[in-house]
Structure 1
Amino acid sequence: MNTSYDNELKKIEFYGRFHPEYLPYVGDNYEKSKVLLLGESNYIDETNPGLTAEVLRLIDSSLWYTTASEYLPKDGCIDWCHNRNIINDTLEKKKNGQKTSPAHNMYINPAKAFVEVFPQVANTWDAFSYFASMNYFQKPATKTGKSISQKKEDEQFAAANLCHIVSVLKPETIIFLSKKAHWAFEANETAELKELYIDACAHPTCAWWNRDKGERGREKFKKIISERITI
């Protein structure tokens, strides 16, 4: 994983002061592609007894953005939002031939598509190193495995935060892997991103990734990266 952007990323108050677990993953080969993948959101483990009604209310409010992660439950909350750890663990398991969570096909399926376009990259763990990756919404859904029920303030925060990320990572291509996130972005798009190449396809873990021969998901993703990347 490439950590060379971390000093600048941590100057963004949300990451440097409150939620470092949300720092985007940046692959070792990101500089060769400049592709940023955007998912929808993390989610919590609602069976964890530490996630009290008070904590759930905080997550659901704007206080989430200014409450340091050290004051929130680690198990089933902060750990489940630590994108870098989740991605690195998933890729390491794939490399070692271990079973990975079906939810983490969010990362594996785009990597497989990358290998199909660029067969000289022989495996999924190396393929994903060509991407930067994060979720668009910077707070978790409060229902395990479910989509986030965002408010207008969440959409506005996500759009402003993406501008900060773009100013640091300077991607040349952004691919939304969630229609819901993409719709929210379009409703709040800022002038700074108007000139950037941005597209969207079906979520890699949903049926639409492969349905209709993958035209809304897998094949669209492959078309985008084949046109936008040369390695």
Structure 2
Amino acid sequence: MKIELEQFRQHPSIYPFVGENYNKARKKIFVVGESHYFNNENNIIDNTSWYDLSDSEFVEKMNIKEGTDWFNTEKIVRDIQNKYNLDMNVERSKKLIWIIPRCMYEVKYGKIPSKKQTCEQIKEIGFFNFFSRPMYRVGKTLNVTKRDKEAANKKFDFIINQYKPDLIIFLSKKAYYALDDKQKMNRNILSLHHPAYYAGWSYQKNDSSFNRAKMAIQNLYKR
């Protein structure tokens, strides 16, 4: 059932992805990314263009031939699942969606999963990007405004209260630092580096984001 919030009515593209096995999962995990990115190099996304227009109006104004597909959260995750089921590779920029399911599998079974096995783990998570407004380009970060932060915290609170995860994993320090302190109270939250920061996800370092994620998931499963 779709959840209702003004942001979602205006931008249905930012509905969270919720795997079909999320509610049946041993423990519920939500992964929080940073934001989508803007594919059209001829335009700049300003606050007015994003927050004051609907998805369809925004696409028309910015002349985006791909429509809303490139910033539709659920479609992006489903596309990754479809590719993994066909044993295909996905873009490096999509790593933040599959890296935690991979950690989950390694904790459960003690070995690296295949693409299809990772796909099965994706079915157990929830995912959304903290900031609603997309980035300017692939590899570029968002210049966070007051409006961005307010909208993001309202969306976060609504989604988390709706789905009540046992563990929330932030894959962006920028997103976590923009989270209001009151949102962090009485919630099991782990803040990790963005997967694009390769050194932070080194398998060899005990304190790497990869190993911290596995430890948090392992501790969660012990409860």
Please, what TM-score do these two structures have when normalized by structure 2?
0.86
Q: CA deviation at 1:75?
A: 3.4
- Equivalent residue letter for 1:225: I
Match of 2:150 among 135, 141, 156: 156
Which of 176, 191, 195 pairs up with 2:186? 195
CA RMSD of aligned residues (A): 2.3
Equivalent residue in structure 1 for 2:6, among 13, 32, 37:
13
Q: Gapped runs of 5+ residues in structure 1?
A: none
Instruction: Give the aligned partner of residue 24 of structure 1.
Output: 16
AA at the equivalent of 1:222: K
Q: Give 3-state SS (helix, strand or coil) of 2:135's partner.
A: coil
Gaps of 5+ in 2: none
1:60 and 2:53 matched: no
Question: In structure 1, how many angstroms separate the alpha carbons of the residues matched to 2:172 and 2:34?
Answer: 6
Residue 78 (structure 1) aligned with residue 43 (structure 2): no
* Aligned residue number for residue 101 of structure 2: 111
CA contact (8 A) 2:49 2:58 kept: no
Deviations 1:169-193 (A, max 9, x none): 12222110111111111xx233x65
Deviation at 1:120, TM superposition (A): 8.5
Q: For residue 42 of structure 1, what is the amino acid of its counterpart?
A: H
Quote how far apart the aligned CAs of 1:22 are. Answer: 0.4
State the match for 2:28 in structure 1.
Answer: 34
Task: Report which stretch shifted further, 213-222 or 71-80.
Answer: 71-80
Asked if the contact 2:203–2:211 (Cα under 8 Å) also holds between the matched residues in 1, the reply is no
Q: Determine which of 163, 184, 205 is the counterpart of 1:213.
A: 205
Q: 1:75 to 1:221 in 2, by over 3 A?
A: farther
1:78-129 deviations in whole A, cap 9, x for unaligned?
3221111111101210111112111112222222211110129961000111
Pairs aligned (count): 212
Counterpart residue number, 2:141: 147
Structure 1 residue 45, shift from structure 2 partner: 0.8
Residue identity over aligned pairs, in percent, reads 25
Equivalent residue, structure 1, for 2:89: 99
